[in-house]
Structure 1
Amino acid sequence: MIMKPLLFILITTFYIAYFAKQILLKKRGIVTNRLAKGQKPRKTAMIETGLLLITYGMAIFQYASLFLERYLLPLKLPASLRWLGIVLAFIGVLFFILAITTMRDSWRAGIDESQKTAMVTRGIYSISRNPAFVGFDLLYIGSALAMPGVLIFVLALAGVLFMHLQILEEEVYLPRIFGDEYAEYQKRTPRYFLFF
C-alpha cells in the first residue's frame, strides 16, 4: 500500500528539517531547544515538560504505527479519511518547513527570556502567528488519521492540547519582549490560520 511509504517520507522529512535546523543554529552558537530549561514559572515549566515528552513520544509512535500498527490498538477508518490524513500531514510538513526557514536565526522552541530574537511577521508569519505549531498539529492529526490507532490518537490530541497551552504561555511572554509591535501583530494575524 502506497500510504505507508508516503507517510514515512512525510514524517522523516519533518524530523530531518526539525533536527537539521537545530544543528545548523547550534553551529552558530544558538541553542534552539529551550523547552523545560532554565528558571521558569512552575506552570510554564510543566507545560514545556509535557510538550517535550509528547513531542518525542509522538515521533516514536508515528514510526511505530507504520511498522507495528496491529500491536498498537488499530482502528478501522475509511480510505478517504486515511488519505485526508496524508494530505494534512503534507500541509503540516510544508507549514513547518516554511516557518523554520522564515524564522532564520530567531527560531526557538520554548520560552527563554535571556535569548533575544527578532520579531518575524513576514512570509508565512503574515498569515499565522504560529505556523510551526500549525505544522506540528497537522502532522500529528494527519498521522493519526493515516495510520489510525487508539494510542496515536490519544498522543495526537495531547500534542495539540499542549501546543495550544504553550502558545498561550508565549502570548504572555511575547508582549513583554516586543511590546506594542506584538500587540498590533496579534490584532492583524490569526493565532493559527484563517479565522482561528
Structure 2
Amino acid sequence: MQGYIAVTTISLLIILVIIRSIQLKKFGINVFKFGHMDKKDFIIPPFALLLLYLITSNAFNLPRLGTELFTNGIVGWIGVALCSAGLLLFLYSLISFGKSFRVGIDEESPGTLITTGAFSISRNPIYTAFGMVLCGEFLIYPNWILLIYLISAFWLFNRQVRLEEQSLVKIYGEEYVQYCQNVRRYI
C-alpha cells in the first residue's frame, strides 16, 4: 500500500506541473524556462527518471537498485504522511502562484511577485514540498540510493533557490528584499 502511495505521489507531482503548464500556455505564458540561464540544469531530468524508476520498481517488484537500510512499517507510514503533506503544499503553491508559475528562472517575463497564500509561509513552498515528498519517499523505501538522492536534492534545491533569489532581487528590487525579511526561505 505504501509503495503505491509513493508512486502516486510522484506521478501526481508530474501531472500537476504538466496540467498547470498547459493551462498557462493558453494565456501565452511559457512555463518552462528550465536550463535557459544554467545549462547544467539538463543533468537533472535523467536523475529524475532514475528516481521515478527507483520508486516504481519497489512498488511493482521490478528489478531493484540498491539495498534497504532498514525496514519499519511505522516509519513507512510517516513517509506516507510526509508525501501527502508535500503533495498538498505543492498543490497549494501552484494555486497561490497563479500565472507567475515557472520552471526555471524567467527574467524576461516573470509575472508578478507572489507573497500571499503558500508564499506567506515560505518563500519557496514548491521546493519545500518537493523536499517533504523526497523525505517521505525515502522513509517508505529507505534505500541507500534514495538517501543519496535526498541529500543531493537538498543541495540542488538550495543551489537553485540561491540562483533564483539573485534573479528576483534584480527583477523586483526592494519589494523582494522586504519580502525576504518577513518570510523564511523554507519552513
Secondary structure, aligned partner of 2:148: helix
What whole-Å deviation, never above 9, does each CA across 1:138-175 have from its counterpart, x for those lacking one? 11111111022122222222122111100011111101
Could you tell me which residue of structure 2 aligns to residue 60 of structure 1? 53
Shift of 1:70: 6.1
Residue ranges of structure 2 left out of the alignment (5+ in a row)? none
Distance 1:24 1:45, change over 3 A: same
Distance 1:141 1:63 in 2: 16
What whole-Å deviation, never above 9, does each CA across 1:56-111 have from its counterpart, x for those lacking one? 43233322332246622231232222111111111110111111111111001111
Could you tell me which residue of structure 2 aligns to residue 118 of structure 1? 112
Distance 2:186 2:22 in 1: 27
Distance 2:16 2:23 in 1: 10
Is the CA contact 1:54–1:159 (under 8 Å) kept in the aligned structure 2?
Answer: no
Secondary structure, aligned partner of 2:122: coil
Distance 1:53 1:110 in 2: 17
Residues 46-125 of structure 1: matches in 2 within 5 Å? 46=40, 48-68=41-61, 71-75=64-68, 76-125=70-119
Count of matched residue positions in the alignment of Structure 1 and Structure 2: 186
Distance 1:31 1:56, change over 3 A: farther
Distance 1:17 1:117 in 2: 20
What whole-Å deviation, never above 9, does each CA across 1:34-70 have from its counterpart, x for those lacking one? 1112xx3xxx432x33444433432333223322466
TM-score between both structures, scaled by the size of structure 2: 0.90
Residues 1-196 of structure 1: matches in 2 within 5 Å? 2-37=1-36, 40=37, 44-46=38-40, 48-68=41-61, 71-75=64-68, 76-193=70-187
Residue ranges of structure 1 left out of the alignment (5+ in a row)? none
Identity %: 24
TM-score between both structures, scaled by the size of structure 1: 0.86
Amino acid of the structure 2 residue aligned with 1:62: I
Amino acid of the structure 2 residue aligned with 1:168: R
Distance 2:54 2:21 in 1: 22
Is the CA contact 1:51–1:163 (under 8 Å) kept in the aligned structure 2?
Answer: no
Shift of 1:124: 0.9
Distance 1:122 1:3, change over 3 A: same
RMSD of aligned alpha carbons: 1.8
Distance 1:68 1:150, change over 3 A: farther
